[in-house]
Chain A
Amino acid sequence: MIEGILIGLTTALTIQNILMVMVGCFFGTIIGMLPGLGPMTAIALMIPITYGFEPATGLILMAGVYYGAVFGGSTSSILLNAPGVPGTVATSFDGYPMAQQGKAGKALAIAAWSSFAGGTLSAIYLLFMAPSLSKVSLSFRSPDYFALMILGLTAIAAFSSKGQFLKAMMMVVLGLMLASVGQDSLSDITRYTFNNMNLTDGISFVLVVMATFAMSEALTIILKRNDPTSAAKQVSLTELGSIKINKEERTKMYKTIPRSSVIGFLIGVLPGAGATIASFLAYGMERNVVNDQEKEKFGKGSVNGLSAPETANNAACSGSFVPMLTLGIPGSGTTAVMLGALLGFGVQPGPRLYMTNPEIFWSIIMSMYIGMVILLILNLPLIPYIARILAVPKNYLIPLILFFSVTGIYVMSFNNFDIYLMIGIAVVATYLRLYDFPMPPLILAFVLGGLMEENLRRSLLLSNGSWEFLWDRTLTACILATTILIVVWHIYKTFKKKN
């Protein structure tokens, strides 16, 4: 392994490769900040450029874009409630409220440090455990994924406190309904498309996020413009607040980051999950382990609630390299594009990669450390300037948000129907917001619901229609038991409080 580290360092530390990490991180950050344009599109368009390079150099550049985008995506989540990439949706749950309390600088700093720690820790896990981790990638079967999605849904509890339970559940149902639009993933039957072919591919996750977060947020601000409290808020927002993280917050992060990085990394290693699921699960899990006082703050600007998903999404990003490099299995669209590029270089992924091309494997891991440091240097000093966005008067900022939402969704599909659909959903979401319906449960249900249905039906197919798969495997049973324990614990707590 020490030999490997040395090989990796000699490759990663050449001037050209350091330059590539910098270029990749820089572009990734920008792509991440802009809503709509994701790392997958950026990497796909970048491939023709990389073909003159050494394989390691090309991959280092692409990896830089990937984790740079996940790093940068948190900025727009926190400042504008407009997640730049799907993996940073959960960041906005607590990051945006925190920014609205006049602590934008602090929120950005917490996100940056958490991302840095998540990325660095997971690169360490990669270094020590990559060969054995490929077994973890393959240990999950459809029933286990189903159980994992159920466990993820318990995160909804974070948004259902204080008489909000019914509203949260209604949003869950709405999210599940939206997820079922389009071609059914198992049997080629279209559902709820009203014979409109624009709907046969289903509604994209990014579209739902932009409509229910960015656009409806902007519309709500317009509707509430004469509200005296919001005018007062505007004044307070022009002051950025300190970007220093105080001791109490640091103690919280010291606890959150290690556990979230492990969850995020493990979920990232699974080919059927990914950074988005990882961030949601880490968010939900974090809420289950913190004390009651902190639990109350979740969804309202909790430090733990911001740090957990930010750590997890970056950790998952590194984790997703495991199945791609050691097995040749792409777990997401982004890694599929990178795998294609790798094959284009004439490099065969798999367990033999350590032997045939050790410099590729080790230099990618080494470049991750360099990349994380670069991202931190790139992001921290910029925070005061980036956070100034909030000081932009609302009558300039709102049109800008609307403009970026519309163009962002258009460049994703080049289909104007998506723009109409987004506006439609945003209008409905705005009404729901005015009546205090929480949006995060809808997003959670939308993401987890589709995967949950698919894995449930596949499990049933595999077990010939029998429900035994729920307890047949130890792993499935353990995950489900944990879920039940969490739910029972919550119910018990609620009753205890009432009496």
Chain B
Amino acid sequence: MKNLKKIVSVLFSAILLFSATTTSSVAHEKLHFVIGGGAGGGWDGTARGTGEALTKAGLLKSASFENMSGGGGGKALAYMINTKPANTILVQSTPLVLRSITRHEGYVKGTGTLSYKDVVPIAGVIGDYGAIAVAKNSPYKNFKDVVEAYKKDPSSVKMAGGSVRGSMDHLIGALAFQAAGADPNAVQYIPYDAGGKALAGLLSGETQIISTGLGELMGARDQVTIIGITAPSRVSDAPDAPTLKEQGYDVQFVNWRGFFGPPGMSDSERSALAKILGDVQKTPEWEAVRARNAWVNIYNPEGKFVEFLEKQTEEMTALMKKLGVI
């Protein structure tokens, strides 16, 4: 009898709790997305796409967006920290971690190095894996060929990437070479100012391999052979692209995109937002947005997200020290 009572009360509270959480997610009246870059960029697409899916799926009543360019996203970050706006979240991605390692000074007056710890990580929602590719007519057929050629003559392999030294594109390639037992700092990295230009550089023959995000290569899949991606297993959008892991190189890297709240955001609000960001991924409205952007769902809420960010910071710090960029 006593047991039955206990079960009933547990059930009852469970129902209450369930209804409480559902009401709190429906209760999301409005959400303001702060975007640290201009219209048409990656952050912009993530925020607007997420906002669109959330409202269409009925998890959010109204979404508003604000582009705030400057300092490679630093302006928007400083805005979140300084003004602590209500009902507002910031979209960010891997560069937040990288910048916290290299240089983060000057974002907020009187503080030194800033990191993701200065805002409230809510959830990572999507990601793009890194990829290494060669031109279709390249003599290299897999990453092993590249490593062997590199070991014979380090200057024979030049690696193109769509951003500066020490950027994500550079780190993806360096990680792969490091896993192959090569000195990542001796790999010649040739920076370009956009992924498309790096691709043109590869195809014109001035570099031998390209290291960038898988998403950048999707448009040119007929021109390049992807010889390794940094995912734990093959991805459905590019089933013919082998992982580096299956070739025996233990490399995993994901360029995440996620949302952050202002400092001082309450735990309940944070959990509620993390929940709707997760729930939305099960809806057809999200699927429509995801498919047209070729995003990979990588939902990583709250504590798990923080853990992930800590691990990424650690790995990247070690690598960037080796590369001499910090």
Contacts and interface: CB of A to CB of B under 8 A. Distances in A.
Interface of A: 40-41, 43-45, 48, 51, 137-142, 183-188, 195-198, 200-201, 271-272, 323, 327-331, 333, 335-337, 339-340, 342-345, 348-352, 412-415, 417, 454, 458, 461-462, 464
A323 B196 CA distance: 10
Contact of B40 (A41, A51, A142, A200): A41
A187 B192 CA distance: 10
Interface stretch (B10-18, B63-71, B299-307): B63-71
Contacts of B204: 138-141
B192 A328 contact: no
B220 A350 contact: yes
A185 B162 CA distance: 10
Given A183-B164, A417-B70, A461-B190, A43 B222 contact: no
Given A186-B164, A344-B293, A458-B190, A333 B40 contact: yes
A343 B290 CA distance: 12
Contacts of A351: 222
A454 B69 CA distance: 23
B165 A349 contact: no
Contact of A41 (B39, B207, B293): B39
Interface in B195-240: 196-197, 199-201, 203-207, 218-223
Contacts, number: 154
B188 interface: yes
B164 A141 contact: no
B80 to A, nearest CB: 14
Contacts of A335: 196
A276 to B, nearest CB: 15
B44 interface: yes
Nearest to B102: A188
Contacts of A339: 196, 219
Contact of B197 (A272, A345, A417): A272
A271 B190 CA distance: 17
Given A51-B292, A187-B164, A415-B69, A328 B206 contact: no
Contacts of B67: 413-414
Given A188-B325, A350-B220, 11 more contacts: A41-B40, A138-B205, A140-B204, A185-B191, A330-B194, A340-B45, A343-B219, A344-B294, A348-B222, A349-B220, A414-B69
Contacts of A48: 48, 52
Contact of A44 (B44, B155, B200, B291): B44
B196 A331 contact: yes
A271 B196 contact: yes
* Interface range for B: 35 or more
A185 B219 contact: no
A381 B318 CA distance: 65
Contacts of B219: 328-330, 339, 342-343, 348-349
18 contacts: A44-B40, A141-B201, A197-B75, A200-B71, A327-B200, A329-B220, A340-B293, A343-B218, A343-B219, A343-B294, A344-B292, A348-B219, A350-B221, A413-B38, A415-B68, A415-B70, A415-B75, A462-B190
B222 A271 contact: no
Contacts of A196: 106
B196 A329 contact: yes
A139 B220 CA distance: 17
A200 B165 contact: no
Interface string B172-190: 0000000000000000101
B200 A328 contact: no
Contacts of B70: 197-198, 200-201, 413, 415, 417
Interface of B: 38-40, 44-45, 48, 52, 66-72, 74-75, 78, 102, 105-107, 155, 158, 164-167, 188, 190-194, 196-197, 199-201, 203-207, 218-223, 288, 291-294, 325
Contacts of B294: 343-344
A350 B74 contact: no
Given A462-B158, A462-B206, A337 B40 contact: yes
B215 to A, nearest CB: 9
A48 B158 CA distance: 39
A470 to B, nearest CB: 15
Contacts of A330: 194, 196, 219
A268 to B, nearest CB: 14
A198 B44 contact: no
Contacts of B196: 271, 329-331, 335-336, 339
Given A40-B40, A413-B38, A461-B188, A327 B203 contact: yes
A349 B219 CA distance: 6
Contact of B69 (A142, A352, A413): A413
A200 B75 CA distance: 10
B164 A197 contact: no
B219 to A, nearest CB: 3
A350 B222 contact: yes
B71 A197 contact: yes
Contacts of A195: 105-106
B72 A141 contact: no
A461 B220 CA distance: 25
The 9 closest A-B pairs by CB, nearest first: A197-B71, A350-B222, A44-B40, A328-B219, A344-B292, A328-B220, A330-B196, A271-B200, A413-B69
Contacts of B193: 185, 454
A221 B168 CA distance: 48
A195 B222 CA distance: 44
Nearest to A454: B193
A466 to B, nearest CB: 12
A200 B203 contact: no
Nearest to A464: B155
A201 B72 contact: yes
A244 B191 CA distance: 51
A361 to B, nearest CB: 14
Contacts of B194: 330, 336
B309 to A, nearest CB: 21
A48 B39 CA distance: 13
